[in-house]
Structure 1
Amino acid sequence: MSSPTLPRPARADGTRTPPVTASAVAPPAPRASVARHRAGFWLVAAAFLATMAFSTAPAPLYPLYQAADGFSTFTVTIVFAAYAVGVALALVLAGHVSDWLGRRRVLLPAIALELVAGALFLSGTGLATLLVARFVSGLGVGMLTATATAHLHELHAAHRPGDAGRRPQVVAVVANIGGLGLGALVAGALAETGVAPLRLPYLVFVVLLLLGVAAVLVAPETVRRPAERPAYRPQRPRRTGGDPAAQLLAYTAAFASFAVFGVFTSVAPGFVGGTLHHASRLLAGLVVFVVFGAAAGVQAGTTRVRPATRLRAGVAAEAAGLVVLTAGMLTGRLDVFLVGGVVTGAGAGLLFAAGSATVAASAAPAERGEALAGLFLVAYLGLSLPAMGLGLLARVLPQATAMALLSGVLLVLLGALALGARRTRR
């Protein structure tokens, strides 16, 4: 008879991680170690936050790299795409191995990869260096996200057994999506001081990452390694046995939501400094922060809302936000541009939460990891392809015009998503 499965911890976006058998998870902590698990929860959350923040630190600095080495907007999108490739590759190869290796045995190498990326950023500003640094950073993030989220839920369950509260899910959202926005804001503020703007942000984050390593070392392990390690194989992206139409909607929602995130973390800071003539690196970081902050806020605040409701609200919000955002770009109005970013980010957060929850609910427990791997691969195509398309258009058109064309394509995609959702509901 197979071992009973424990409740699957929720990811930062509200989905569930693959089930873990009772034999693989450490038994509940004795009363004397409750305090250690409580402290470990917050230590892992801090390390999670620092790592995700580091991954977006280059975003407000791209215009400085362009000025130093003559990069084009399209080159910036290629550098950003290297990060997306790294994340997707790590998700497939290592996103699931902490279920039997242990959480800390995956978290520590993941943060170590971020430290390697930090050292590369500090070593120079050349294109080859940036490409390798972003790729390595993507590998670390792909290893860390699901593992850290699962670790948070298990640490919470160890020191508050029987508590089905929302704390782990909300904390994971803040650390993951909120960390992405916070990293750009902090890096922009540090660069704005004028003190080694392409060095100081990375030095600060390297220190924070080293503290993150210490935090993970102190936190208790929550997974008991099995006597016989399962045979390794990559997670195979696959369609589950649920409703094919609903899964297609989920993939489309993931692509549309990450398209917004990709544009804002690659091209938007350059647009603010170029077309809008605001050279402040703090402002460039703020532009990224408002988008991810809005996405994190709506995800944390709607954890009990049905996926179908999230999907409809996400389509409406992202469509409205794209219209406002494009209007701000075409008219050169920074205030309108920022409002559009907030609304668009909120819609993107709702869309991805709805899509990932749909895939997780439709998959059999033994297939859930592979199903979510497929969803994330589609999402990271959305992260890179539209941003690269925008970079190509910007080579022959003004950036505002290029963004208007991309917004038109995304609005058509959102319209198809709304129509598909309506037919599926019927």
Structure 2
Amino acid sequence: MRSLDTIEWGVEHGSMTTTTITAPAVAPTRGIPHGISFWMIATVFLTQMAFCAVPTPLYAIYQQRDGFPTLVLTVIFVVYAVGVMLSLYLAGHLSDRLGRRRIILASLALNLVAAVLFLVWNDVAGLIVARFICGLGIGILTATATAHIAELGVAAGRSPLRSGIVSTFANLGGIGIGPLVAGVMATFIVQPLVAPYVLFAVLFIAEGLVVLFVPETVEQSAERFAYRPQRIAVPAAARGAYIAAAAAAFGAFAVFGTFTGLSSTFLVGLLGVRSHLLGGVVPFLVFMAAALAQIVTVRMAIRAQMMLALTAAVFGFAGLALGALAASLVLFLIGCGLAGAGVGIVFRASLGTVAGLADAARRGEALAGIFLVAYAGMTIPPLLTAAALTVWQVATVVVVIAVLMAALVVGSGWRMLREA
């Protein structure tokens, strides 16, 4: 069994590697073979991550229909991150005791409820509740699905590196695919606020039936289970490096959150573009670039990774600022892609830094703290950005955001390099 509290990482010759994971000590199953189950859980992971970002290009439709301000739209987005943080803290580690399959089924059920709410209760209050429930589902899913994929991969004879690449793409790539799917459906289908949620509701039901037959990789303990929330620990001997890594994670998710929650607002305000398809393309570029950059650089030394990441981030934020000032869609999109690639690598480096700082017994607790700080980056910066949009022009806000985020990401990344 691979415990979420003791996920083992290693730092070898300056690059991040995962330690060997032993095969799950569970009885053979008559269900789906481990090799096929590996891809099924990866698909379930990707589908749910895609669903969490489906509303991104649809926010403009809700806003135009109901007439609520950008600040309310941002609250609808931010409440999702609050749900993720709460779920991570209260239940993100429970699959170590209750089993991976059971928690993944619970996440599917929560996201199915969210999809139904989007269909039947789609005013502002309903959107807030649906987004919060979706956040609860994603909070219990991410670590559980990542561990399940790794364990199924070992049982099927796959390398930990390959499992990590698949998990990375399912996570970040899924968040990128969701808005693109919704943007395409909003552009070419008559009922854009119905069809995407029906599609994902059907997928969740089908996937739930499949997960019932996927092998469990956690050996059930006969010991009585005493519940406690996820513990969080900061390595006392390396607080400076930990704070730098936390700041980098916060900055990375601030980029993700701001351009996921407000991409349509930026496109309309900067370029006068009211394309739902482009509203899905912007977050697709950011998250897909982040996923692919993490995958491509996985074997690079950490110093080389960070130098590449910081360079990409600087040029990306510069492209965003220039695109805003020149009202250039091409520059804006290039900036999104480069910034996404840069902060994607920085975020992974922050996890690797913390994993290398913490003792093995406290590593899961240290990483939990980083994830909570990261998701805080999806709450405060987007809210401040939305508030700024009520006072300043969109171009001014984008330039200021680009400068501040560049300073945060580059400053924290450079501090991590110095502390490494």
TM class, shorter-length: over 0.9
Does residue 292 of structure 1 match 2:264? Answer: no
The 1:47–1:274 alpha-carbon spacing in structure 2 relative to 1, beyond 3 Å, is same
Moved more, 309-318 or 332-341: 309-318
Q: Which residue of 2 aligns with 1:393?
A: 388
**Amino acid paired to 1:279:** R
Counterpart pick for 1:275 among 256, 270, 275: 270
Q: Where does structure 2 lack aligned partners over 5 or more consecutive residues?
A: 10-15
Does residue 149 of structure 1 match 2:146? Answer: yes
Q: Which residue of 2 aligns with 1:303?
A: 298
Moved more, 190-199 or 292-301: 190-199
The 1:307–1:263 alpha-carbon spacing in structure 2 relative to 1, beyond 3 Å, is same
**Amino acid paired to 1:139:** L
Distance 2:148 2:2 in 1: 19
Distance 1:21 1:231 in 2: 26
Q: What secondary structure, in the 3-state scheme, does the structure 2 residue paired with 1:275 have?
A: helix
Q: Where does structure 1 lack aligned partners over 5 or more consecutive residues?
A: none
Distance 2:70 2:17 in 1: 35
Q: Which residue of 2 aligns with 1:181?
A: 176
The Cα of 1:168 is off from its aligned counterpart by 0.8
The Cα of 1:20 is off from its aligned counterpart by 9.4
Q: Which residue of 2 aligns with 1:36?
A: 33
Distance 1:190 1:347 in 2: 29
Moved more, 227-236 or 393-402: 227-236
The Cα of 1:215 is off from its aligned counterpart by 2.4
The 1:273–1:204 alpha-carbon spacing in structure 2 relative to 1, beyond 3 Å, is farther
The Cα of 1:26 is off from its aligned counterpart by 2.7
The Cα of 1:406 is off from its aligned counterpart by 1.7
Distance 1:315 1:234 in 2: 35
**Amino acid paired to 2:393:** P
Q: Which residue of 2 aligns with 1:382?
A: 377
**Amino acid paired to 2:25:** A
Does residue 334 of structure 1 match 2:333? Answer: no
**TM-score normalised according to structure 1 size:** 0.91
Q: Which residue of 1 aligns with 2:67?
A: 70
Does residue 346 of structure 1 match 2:341? Answer: yes
**Amino acid paired to 2:117:** L
Does residue 123 of structure 1 match 2:91? Answer: no
Q: Quick check: 2:21–2:154 contact (8 Å CA) kept in 1?
A: no
Distance 1:345 1:145 in 2: 20
The 1:5–1:211 alpha-carbon spacing in structure 2 relative to 1, beyond 3 Å, is closer
Does residue 53 of structure 1 match 2:81? Answer: no
Q: Quick check: 2:176–2:287 contact (8 Å CA) kept in 1?
A: yes
Distance 2:365 2:115 in 1: 31
CA offsets, 1:152-192, max 9 Å, x none?
111111121xx535221111111110000000000110111
Q: Quick check: 1:96–1:369 contact (8 Å CA) kept in 2?
A: no
Distance 2:239 2:379 in 1: 25
Does residue 246 of structure 1 match 2:241? Answer: yes
Q: What secondary structure, in the 3-state scheme, does the structure 1 residue paired with 2:151 have?
A: helix
Q: Which residue of 2 aligns with 1:134?
A: 131
Moved more, 304-313 or 66-75: 304-313
Distance 1:242 1:223 in 2: 33
Moved more, 170-179 or 305-314: 305-314
CA offsets, 1:263-309, max 9 Å, x none?
11101122213431222211111111011000000111222233343
Written as runs of structure 1 = structure 2, the 5 A alignment for 1:399-414 is 399-414=394-409
Distance 2:149 2:47 in 1: 15
Q: What secondary structure, in the 3-state scheme, does the structure 2 residue paired with 1:383 have?
A: coil
Does residue 207 of structure 1 match 2:199? Answer: no
Aligned residues: 413
**Amino acid paired to 1:141:** I
Q: Which residue of 2 aligns with 1:168?
A: 163
Q: Which residue of 2 aligns with 1:424?
A: 419
Distance 2:367 2:259 in 1: 24
Q: Quick check: 2:71–2:383 contact (8 Å CA) kept in 1?
A: yes
- RMSD, aligned α-carbons: 2.5
Q: What secondary structure, in the 3-state scheme, does the structure 2 residue paired with 1:271 have?
A: helix
Distance 1:16 1:121 in 2: 39
CA offsets, 1:99-128, max 9 Å, x none?
121001111011100011101110133111
**Amino acid paired to 2:173:** G
The 1:194–1:165 alpha-carbon spacing in structure 2 relative to 1, beyond 3 Å, is closer
The 1:36–1:194 alpha-carbon spacing in structure 2 relative to 1, beyond 3 Å, is closer
Q: Which residue of 2 aligns with 1:233?
A: 228
Q: Quick check: 1:263–1:383 contact (8 Å CA) kept in 2?
A: yes
CA offsets, 1:2-27, max 9 Å, x none?
x99999477xxx7869x9999xx434
Moved more, 57-66 or 233-242: 233-242
Q: Which residue of 2 aligns with 1:26?
A: 25
**Amino acid paired to 2:128:** L
Distance 1:123 1:104 in 2: 29
**TM-score normalised according to structure 2 size:** 0.92
Q: What secondary structure, in the 3-state scheme, does the structure 2 residue paired with 1:57 have?
A: coil
The Cα of 1:78 is off from its aligned counterpart by 0.9
Does residue 255 of structure 1 match 2:250? Answer: yes
Q: Quick check: 1:100–1:229 contact (8 Å CA) kept in 2?
A: no
**Amino acid paired to 2:68:** F
